[in-house]
């Protein structure tokens, strides 16, 4: 369990002459408090500049909040060594530049570095191969990473994170000889941004599967419908503040969406699905155009297209 207790980030760090958040500094996060549970897929939502990526980097231990604390099972995540963190949490960032001519297999093997000392074992190589197959990227194994498309690179990076979180036996983290799944964390920052429809679903289904196994999974998304489909819990941010938390059906309401995004939407509940669907409402004469939606008809058509 992760307990986020009144964290703030930005403005002038402590020790500076100026007051945090004062002139010359902008608060990126302000007084964020919440609890993130293992066994759930938690999605961070909000417009550009809301502080989602900064919050994720604080959860990873990469950044330290200027005030407040982040406790993972009662222990400050910022007191953990780099090796401990590397063995227990995997991070997929928005940008992961690889300028040297590494092959795809070599990039995924980077995820295994915390698990061996001198050279990878047969098991490490098998885990790398299996992780690539899980992301439908096995055929890319011998390619140079920097020759891949953006979506292909993102799938390879997802395979790297999966390989990192595998125990040495290569099996599920829930096995007795491995680390318990509730001691593992997966952090993904816009993992589907460059992916096509099929691989968006593949990526988030894999994240959801790990959450169901007991992992703590936190994902930054911009697509409200993907968040609605896959999230167990949403954290909705705007200008560094946490405006709402809860299940998608509780958070994704037209008035709250308008407050955060400045966009009118229709939220419908197809009978064949257990998550709401969000449709932008375009208004004529403004920046958007009004389009009436028959919710019953749309839900029926949506179900038929399933």
pTM of the model: 0.86
Burial 272-283 (b: 16+ CB within 10 A, else e): eeebbbbbebee
Q: Looking at residue 49, what is its pLDDT?
A: 93
pLDDT digits (tens, 9 = 90+) for 207-253: 999 999 999 999 999 999 999 999 999 999 999 999 999 999 999 99
Q: Looking at residue 302, what is its pLDDT?
A: 42
Q: Percent of the chain, pLDDT > 70?
A: 83
Question: And the tokens for 295?
Answer: 């919710």
pLDDT band at 19 (very low <50, low <70, confident <90, very high): very low
The separation between CA 274 and the C-alpha centre of its own chain, rounded to angstroms, equals 21
Q: Percent of the chain, pLDDT > 90?
A: 72
The residue with tokens 């919710």 is 295
Q: Looking at residue 304, what is its pLDDT?
A: 47
C-alpha dihedral, 234 to 235 to 236 to 237, nearest 10°:
-160
The residue with tokens 């910022």 is 78
Q: Looking at residue 7, what is its pLDDT?
A: 97
Among 111, 141, 121, residue whose Cα is nearest residue 129: 141
| pLDDT of 198 above 80 | yes
Q: Looking at residue 294, what is its pLDDT?
A: 52
Q: What residues contact 93, with CB distance under 8 A and at least 6 apart? A: 189
Among 161, 156, 220, residue whose Cα is nearest residue 189: 220
| pLDDT of 296 above 60 | no
Sign of the torsion angle spanned by Cα atoms 222, 225, 230, 236: positive
Sign of the torsion angle spanned by Cα atoms 129, 132, 136, 139: negative
Q: Looking at residue 99, what is its pLDDT?
A: 74
Give, as one character, the DSSP assignment of residue 72. Answer: E
Structural domain boundaries of the chain?
Answer: 2-262, 265-306
Q: Looking at residue 306, what is its pLDDT?
A: 41
| pLDDT of 285 above 90 | no
| pLDDT of 182 above 50 | yes
Can you point out the beta strands (E) in the chain?
Answer: 2-10, 27-36, 41-45, 67-72, 75-76, 89-92, 185-189, 216-220, 233-238, 241-246, 265-268, 277-280
pLDDT band at 95 (very low <50, low <70, confident <90, very high): low
Among 23, 27, 29, residue whose Cα is nearest residue 11: 27
What is the rounded average pLDDT of the residues 157-172? 81
C-alpha dihedral, 5 to 9 to 15 to 17, nearest 10°:
-130
Report which of residues 177 and 255 the model is more confident about: 255
Question: What is the rounded average pLDDT for all residues in the chain?
Answer: 87
* N residues, the chain: 306
Q: What residues contact 166, with CB distance under 8 A and at least 6 apart? A: 127, 131, 173
pLDDT digits (tens, 9 = 90+) for 33-88: 999 999 999 999 999 999 999 999 999 999 999 999 999 999 999 999 998 999 99
Q: Looking at residue 117, what is its pLDDT?
A: 83
The residue with tokens 């490490």 is 124
What is the rounded average pLDDT of the residues 143-147? 94
Give, as one character, the DSSP assignment of residue 13. Answer: P
Classify residue 147 as exposed, middle or buried by CB count within 10 Å of its CB (0-12, 13-18, 19+): exposed
Give, as one character, the DSSP assignment of residue 205. Answer: H
The answer to whether residues 24 and 199 touch, using CB atoms and an 8 Å cutoff, is no
Top CATH class, 2-262? alpha beta
Q: Looking at residue 173, what is its pLDDT?
A: 38
| pLDDT of 283 above 90 | no
């Amino acid at each position: 369990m992760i307990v986020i207790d009144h964290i703030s980030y930005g403005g002038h760090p402590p020790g500076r002459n100026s007051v945090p958040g004062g002139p010359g500094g902008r608060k990126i996060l302000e007084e964020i408090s919440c609890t993130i549970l293992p066994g759930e897929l938690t999605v961070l939502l909000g417009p550009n500049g809301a502080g989602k990526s900064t919050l994720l980097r604080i959860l990873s231990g990469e950044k330290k909040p200027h005030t407040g604390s982040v406790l993972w099972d009662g222990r400050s995540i910022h007191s953990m060594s780099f090796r401990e963190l590397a063995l227990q949490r995997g991070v997929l960032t928005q940008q992961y530049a690889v300028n040297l001519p590494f092959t795809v297999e070599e990039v995924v093997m980077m995820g295994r570095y915390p698990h061996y000392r001198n050279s990878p074992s047969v098991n490490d190589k098998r885990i790398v191969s299996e992780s690539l197959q899980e992301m439908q990227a096995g055929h890319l194994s011998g390619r140079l990473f920097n020759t891949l498309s953006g979506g292909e690179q993102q799938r390879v990076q997802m395979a790297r994170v999966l390989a990192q979180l595998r125990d040495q036996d290569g099996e599920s983290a829930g096995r007795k000889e491995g680390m318990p799944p509730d001691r593992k964390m997966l952090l993904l920052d816009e993992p589907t941004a460059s992916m096509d429809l099929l691989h968006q679903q593949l990526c988030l289904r894999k994240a959801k599967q790990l959450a169901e196994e007991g992992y703590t999974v936190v994902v930054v998304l911009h697509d409200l419908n993907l968040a609605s489909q896959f999230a167990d819990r949403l954290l909705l941010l705007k200008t560094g503040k946490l405006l709402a938390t809860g299940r998608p059906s509780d958070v994704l309401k037209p008035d709250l969406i308008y407050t955060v995004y400045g966009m009118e939407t229709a939220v419908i509940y197809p009978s064949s699905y257990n998550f709401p669907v969000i449709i932008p409402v375009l208004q004529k004469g403004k920046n958007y155009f009004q389009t009436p939606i028959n919710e019953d008809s749309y839900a029926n058509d949506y179900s038929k297209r399933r």
